[in-house]
Amino acid sequence: MTGREAPAITVAGLRVQFGAVEAVSGVDLTVGAGQAVGLLGRNGAGKSTTMRVLAGVVPPTSGRVEVCGRDVRTEPIEVKRLVGYCPDVGGLVPRATPWEHLQLSARLRRLTDWEPQARDLLERFGLGDVAHRVTAGFSHGMSRRLSVVLAALHEPAVLLLDEPFDGVDPTGVEATMDVVDDARARGAAVLISTHLRDLAVQACSEVSVLRGGARVATVEAAAMAGEEGARAYRALLG
Ligand SMILES: Nc1ncnc2c1ncn2[C@@H]1O[C@H](COP(=O)(O)OP(=O)(O)OP(=O)(O)O)[C@@H](O)[C@H]1O
């Protein structure tokens, strides 16, 4: 299968073991080009670990994980090139400014003509005024916003957003929704892990629910909306 024919994200029978802890014990997931899928589940369900495997940060213990047809195990550099990843925590250098983060990211990815896109993203996320301030003093929401900006800079084929809405105010949420919509419009695949069910419904076409490291359901996002969706979600959480 060539990269062009493959789904943007393929996860089949993923297991991840950390010593005695089985963080992921059977996740299957497919995200096609132009699709956004939400990952829901309780704390410790395995959402971030699944994201980390897709980002090439954590190796799978077993299973098949591919990004645009590239195996995360055998083609990690190519996978990192294809993916834009907003981790759930960390990832920012306290002594560096947003602009320096963007410069570094652009250099590592050998991007050219990236500055207009970087300025546009910083403005959209309300970070224009702090572009040259070190991130050490950033609030949680500001750091989240910058992490989304960094994930989106190179217009990746696969956008992985882990808790992008956590502690983010409504304008930041709106900017993130725009980034997701833009990504889908240019044919990228988006995977969003969040505890905010309503925002997952808003951003995504499908939602997968993880429980105890395994996928228990994949449903149309609309099925998770409102009071009825809340009941359906609670039933899936067990
Ligand atoms: N590096 C690690 N070493 C040991 N255990 C880990 C490690 N990373 C994750 N785990 C464990 O794997 C399980 C799944 O964690 P994960 O962070 O993937 O869950 P999550 O669904 O993202 O949770 P949350 O919603 O709280 O962010 C948890 O039991 C966690 O303690």
pLDDT tens digits along 6-44? 789 999 999 999 999 999 998 999 999 999 999 999 999
- Residue found by looking up tokens 């809405």 in the block: 165
68: pLDDT strictly greater than 50: yes
155: pLDDT strictly greater than 50: yes
Residue nearest to atom 1 of ligand 1 (CA): 18
Q: How far apart are CA 18 and CA 73, in angstroms?
A: 17
- The mean per-residue pLDDT over the stretch 72-85 comes to 94
Edge to edge, the sheet with strand 21-31 lists 70-71, 62-67, 9-18, 21-31, 214-220, 206-211, 36-40, 189-193, 158-162, 83-86
4: pLDDT strictly greater than 60: no
Spatial CB neighbours of 24, under 8 Å, sequence gap ≥ 6? 14, 15, 16, 46, 49, 50, 53, 213, 214
- Look at residue 6 in the predicted model and tell me its pLDDT: 73
Nearest to 144 by CA among 90, 80, 82, 203: 90
- The mean per-residue pLDDT over the stretch 87-108 comes to 95
Domains and CATH numbers, the chain: 9-89+156-237 (3.40.50.300)
pLDDT tens digits along 181-212? 999 999 999 999 999 999 999 999 999 999 99
- Look at residue 7 in the predicted model and tell me its pLDDT: 86
Would you list the DSSP string of 28-48? Answer: EEEE-TT-EEEEE-STTSSHH
- Look at residue 1 in the predicted model and tell me its pLDDT: 44
3: pLDDT strictly greater than 60: no
Q: Which of 11, 14, 17, 18 to mutate to test the pocket of ligand 1 (most atoms within 8 A of CB)?
A: 18
In this structure, what token pair is assigned to residue 79?
């996978």
pTM: 0.95
53: pLDDT strictly greater than 70: yes
Q: How far apart are CA 37 and CA 27, in angstroms?
A: 14
- Look at residue 2 in the predicted model and tell me its pLDDT: 46
Q: Which amino acid is at 47?
A: K
Percent pLDDT > 90 in the chain is: 95
Spatial CB neighbours of 145, under 8 Å, sequence gap ≥ 6? 125, 126, 127, 168, 172, 175, 176
pLDDT category at 90 given cuts 50, 70, 90 is confident
- Look at residue 238 in the predicted model and tell me its pLDDT: 81
Q: How far apart are CA 174 and CA 172, in angstroms?
A: 5
Mark residue 176 as left, alpha or beta (left: phi above 0; alpha: psi -120 to 50; beta: remaining): alpha
Percent pLDDT > 70 in the chain is: 98
CA atoms within 13 A on the CB side of 98: 29
Q: How far apart are CA 193 and CA 47, in angstroms?
A: 6
State the chain's mean pLDDT as an integer: 94
| CA 106 – ligand 1 centroid, Å | 30
pLDDT tens digits along 213-228? 999 999 999 999 999 9
Local structure of residue 17 (DSSP, 8 states): E
**What phi, psi does 175 have (nearest 5°)?**
-65, -40
Residue nearest to atom 17 of ligand 1 (CA): 48
Ligand 1 pocket, CB under 6 A: 18, 21, 23, 41, 43-49, 88
- Look at residue 5 in the predicted model and tell me its pLDDT: 62
